[in-house]
A and B are shown apart, each in its own frame.
Chain A
Amino acid sequence: MLEVKDLHVTVEEKEILKGVNLKVEPGKLVVVMGPNAGGKSTLAYAIMGREGYEVTKGDILFNGESILELGPDERSRLGIFLSVQEPPPLPGVKGSLLVPAVIKKRRGIPMDDKFADIKILREVRPKLELVGLDSSYMGREVNVGFSGGEKKRFELFQALAYDPKIVILDEPDSGLDVDGVKMVARVIDDMRKNGKGVLLITHNPRLLHFITPDEVNVLIDGKIVMTGGLEVAEFVETHGYDKVVTR
Chain B
Amino acid sequence: MSIEKPEELVRYREPEELLGFAKDYPAEVELKGRITESLIREISKVKKEPEWMTRLRLKSLELFYKLPMPNWLQGIEMLDLDTMAHYVKPDIELSSSWDDIPKEVREYYEKIGIPELEAKVLHGLSAQYESETIYHKMKKSLEDKGVIMIPMEEAVQKYPDIVKRYFLRIFPPSDHKFAALHGALWSGGVFVYVPKGVRVEAPIEAFFLIGRAFESQFEHTLLIADENSYIYFIEGCTAPMYKGFSFHDGMVELYAHRGAHIRFTTFQNWSKHVINFNNKRAIAEENARVDWVEGSIGSMLTYVYPSTVLRGKGSSSRSVVFTLAKGPYLKDSGSKMFHVAPNTKSRIVNKSISVDGGINVYRGVIRIPYGARNAVSNVECESLILDDKSYAYTYPHNQIEEPTASVSHEATTMRLTEDQIFYLLSRGLDEDDAKNLLIMGFLDELFIEVPFEVAHVLKKVLEIEFEKLGGVG
- Residues of A at the B interface (CB closer than 8 Å) are 48, 50-51, 71-73, 76-77, 81-82, 84, 87-88, 90-94, 97-98, 101-102, 105-106, 111, 141, 158, 162
Which of A82, A91, A105 has most B Cβ within 10 Å?
A91
Which of A72, A76, A105 has most B Cβ within 10 Å?
A72
Q: Is B429 within 8 A of A73, CB to CB?
A: yes
CB-CB < 8 A to A101: which residues of B? 429, 433, 437
Q: Is A92 within 8 A of B443, CB to CB?
A: yes
CB-CB < 8 A to A106: which residues of B? 428
Stretch from B59-67, B213-221, B289-297, B413-421 forming part of the interface with A: B413-421
CB-CB < 8 A to A111: which residues of B? 433
> In this assembly, does B427 line the interface, its C-beta being within 8 Å of a C-beta of chain A?
yes
What is the CB-to-nearest-CB distance from A72 to chain B, in angstroms, rounded to a whole number? 4
Closest residue of A by beta carbon distance from B417: A88
Q: Is A141 within 8 A of B433, CB to CB?
A: no
> In this assembly, does B444 line the interface, its C-beta being within 8 Å of a C-beta of chain A?
yes
Q: Is B445 within 8 A of A87, CB to CB?
A: no
Interface mask (B419-451 → A, CB under 8 Å = 1, otherwise 0):
110111111111101000110111111000000
What is the CB-to-nearest-CB distance from B152 to chain A, in angstroms, rounded to a whole number? 40
What is the CB-to-nearest-CB distance from A156 to chain B, in angstroms, rounded to a whole number? 14
Which of A77, A87, A93 has most B Cβ within 10 Å?
A93
| Contacts beyond the supplied A92-B441, A93-B444, A105-B433: 8 A-B pairs with Cβ under 8 Å | A87-B423, A88-B423, A90-B420, A90-B437, A94-B444, A97-B437, A102-B429, A106-B428
User: Top 3 closest A-B pairs, CB basis?
Assistant: A92-B441, A93-B441, A76-B428
Grouping DSSP codes into helix (H, G, I), strand (E, B) and loop, the B interface class, with mixed when no group exceeds half, is helix
Q: Is A90 within 8 A of B429, CB to CB?
A: no
CB-CB < 8 A to B438: which residues of A? 90, 92-93
Q: Is B428 within 8 A of A77, CB to CB?
A: yes
CB-CB < 8 A to A91: which residues of B? 414, 441-442
Q: Is A105 within 8 A of B420, CB to CB?
A: no
What is the CB-to-nearest-CB distance from B178 to chain A, in angstroms, rounded to a whole number? 35
**Bound complex: CA A137 to CA B442 (Å):** 19
B418, B426, B429: the one contacting A48 at CB < 8 Å is: B426
What is the CB-to-nearest-CB distance from B134 to chain A, in angstroms, rounded to a whole number? 36
Q: Is A141 within 8 A of B427, CB to CB?
A: no
CB-CB < 8 A to B428: which residues of A? 73, 76-77, 102, 105-106, 162
Q: Is B433 within 8 A of A72, CB to CB?
A: no
Q: Is A92 within 8 A of B433, CB to CB?
A: no
Q: Is B414 within 8 A of A72, CB to CB?
A: no
